[in-house]
Structure 1
Amino acid sequence: GGRFKGVLHTETKMDAVVEDIKNIRVGRSGSVLLVRGDGIVIADEKGVVSELFTNVGILNAFQMAKNGGRGIIHEIDHKGIDSYISYVPLKGLLSKPGFEWHLLAIQSAKEMNAPSRRIAYVTIAVILIGIAGIGLGSYFIAGGITYPIEKIVGVVEAVAAGDFSKEVDVSAKGEIKMLVGAINQMIKAVRYRDAEVQTKARELTKLNEKLEMANIELRKTHAQLLRSGRLAAIGELSSKIAEDLHKPILSIIYNTQMTIKQMNKISKVLPSGFENCQDYIRAIEASSLTCKIMAENLLRFSRYEKTTFIPVDIKEVIEEAVGFISYRMSIAKIKISKELAPSFPRIKANPLQLAQAMINIMLNAVEAMGEEGVLTIKGEADNRIVRITICDIGIGIPEEDIGRIFEPFFTTKNNEDGTGLGLGLTIAQSIIKEHNGMIIVESISGGTSFIIELPVKDK
């Protein structure tokens, strides 16, 4: 008990351990330290011993390991680089109180996070490529659908607007191709139906026009029948009146003419104051002649008489007609102007009827001018037509009345003075038509021209 028996000495070679620690690689920039509990560095791979206790980050890791902890802290290392420092205490045979062993590993945060960043970059790249692929695929797929649909919509809108000439012209596959074919077939059917409808519409339009024309002709015929009935009744009455008036009028004319002749014989022995008697009697004669023309117009209107034609010098007929109304024009102070060709070809005509037609037109012109005016008579001819133009400077005929002036009993005068029955122009046109001629009317405000055209040929 208590006696000294000897000393046990052990020695551990750390060379192999240190060499193994030096061979540990922590990336390209990492360092590994083996530190004893009293702060003695056993192994230093990168030579950081001198900076061990001057760097707060490494010192903190050492203290945590010394306190028995293990883990990783994020600190600024001895080089001023953002780094991760891992620490772990080593326990075993070599450890004894106050002299524990601690292992520290230092690596930059950038290098440590590089794999994670690469994984993240690759992941993002894969995602972006996937999105781009999906987008391109969707674009081409959508283009293969939307483009034909846009073409279809355009054609359908054109068809809806009435243009059936268009068809869907687009390359397509599958269901879109079937749809395009069906739509084009429908357009062809609609085009065919539209052509049929247009044809039927044209036929209906033509039929409607024919019906309208037939309706117009029917109304005209009905009006003519009514007028014919009225004219027949008027004709019978006017014929009786004209026959009853014709003889007394002729008697008045004959007696006035005889009175004028007798007065001319005894004019030298008549007392003063009787000079105007001849004028009075001539006025009676002129009025009687007008009544005679009216009676003859009534007779001609009421019954048809066969016309006899003989060779006629139209200039003589014009002179006879002018002479017949000359006194009437002198009373109205109307001057007459004649512009006749030196000669006219002889035509087959009835001179009395032609004279009556011209007299009727001239009397109409005199009545249109009232008092004071100029009646112009022009005559010309060629190898086909004799043309007589009778012009006045009256108020003219309203445009809406020109088409009616040849109707029986139509007149633009108020007839309060009894100057006409509305038959003069009707009889004139009837006579000229019997001579295969025609009457052209030209009227403006300030004058009217009646142009009589007669053919130069044998009747």
Structure 2
Amino acid sequence: MKFFLGVQAKFILLTSLCIFLFAGFWGYLIIKREGKLYTEDTINQARIIAEISGVIFTNALVYKELGLVEDVGLTDYLDYYVSDMMQKDKRIVYLIVLDPKGRVLSHSNIKEYGKVYTDPVTKRALEATEILVQYVKDANGNEMVDVAAPLRISTKNWGVCRIGFSLKQVKEGIASLRNEMISMISIMLLGSLIVIGIAGKAFATPLVRLAKVMDQITEKGDLEIQVPELKPRNDEIGKLQASFTWMIKRLREANRERMRTMDLMCQTEKMATVGNLAAGVAHEINNPLGGVILCFKNLIESDMDEETRKIHIEVINSGLLKIQKTVKELLDFARKTPMAKVPSSVNSILDESIRLVDCMLAKRNIKIIKDFYVDMPTVLVDPGKIEQVIINIIINAVHAMGENGTLFISTAVEDDMCVISIKDTGPGIDPKILSRIFDPFFTTKEPGKGTGLGLAVCKAIIEQHGGRIEVESEKGAGARFIIKLPIRGTEKA
């Protein structure tokens, strides 16, 4: 099943998507910028702490070298400062004082005293002549910065002070900002959806109404359907409404004209068919008429008893009734009637059509072989119109076969369609003209012997019933006309 998305839904979806993408990109830039500023601010604070600590440690080492401080006093002083800094700023992961060879003079972890560090971070720190910032990871894999402050005065080098500064608060701050941005964008998107939904409904409502009318016209084929009144608008939708109304009006006029033309074509072709039936009808009338005339002559000229007189009168009455019935059937067939679809038996329509041309078939010694589907459901058709189609095809087949032919007529059910097949044993249709036989005014008969409307009218009638008509033929092997009509309901015919 094909997925359908209305104009209103598309408008809301696309607009919301644009707002979401814009807000998301805007939020991403803000988070990126704020995260960068937050990180830079933290690193600057670490640099300041490292620089101050470096000055303090350098002074202490100078005092020791001048003999103003003993080794024990220096160690205690360094440890005290390290411990104090660790307590004041929880962002500091470690604080290390190293001599020029990388030996630990003081450390926030007492177990590290006296060790010599030779790792790349320490080497770069010892080689630095100014504050050096390096990104490293702790034992748990968390990112942090290592800020190294050289303990130097001019060319004199006492080592380096390294401070490990955690970026955990930075990450938490960025995460908090991200959550706030997501909440803000969600609220903004929800509000936008409400506003867009209201605007989308106002925008799409007239289009939806027009689409419903078009669907009804497409499904039912009814151009006379009432178009709903729409509010006048001075925009593109207003122009569309006006154009749509004008188009429906023109289509109605064109359809009415087409129907009038089709009715005229049907009636013209029906009269031509009546002409073809005239010989058979004359035979149907002439036989009982001869008997009626003979009986009248006997009644007038002969003396007869009452019983014989009654018999003659009954023969006259029977003959006249038969003539009346034949004339009535011909008039009913020729009469112009509007389309009136009723549940009908296709098999019965075929039998009635065959009966109307029976004299023509008998005169040319043409046999009919019927193969009707017994449990044929009823179809919603105009019996008179379908009868006209059947008779037209049979007459064409008779003309094609000449004399001593055979006509095969069958019915079947295929894919919820009633299928009527009429096949003759004539010479067939030339493949070159096969695609044109349903064209109006196309005929292979001599001038004056055909209107060229017969099969065109047949095609139009079948299509008016929602069906289709096809032809199969091979030259020298006859022609087969196939009529397919949609089955309405499941009632047995």
Q: The TM-score by the shorter chain falls in which range?
A: 0.3 to 0.5
TM-score normalised over the length of structure 2: 0.35
Comparing both structures, which one devotes a greater share of its residues to helix? 2
Higher-RCO chain (CA-CA 8 Å, sequence separation at least 6): 2
Q: Considering only CA atoms, is the larger Rg found in Structure 1 or Structure 2?
A: 1
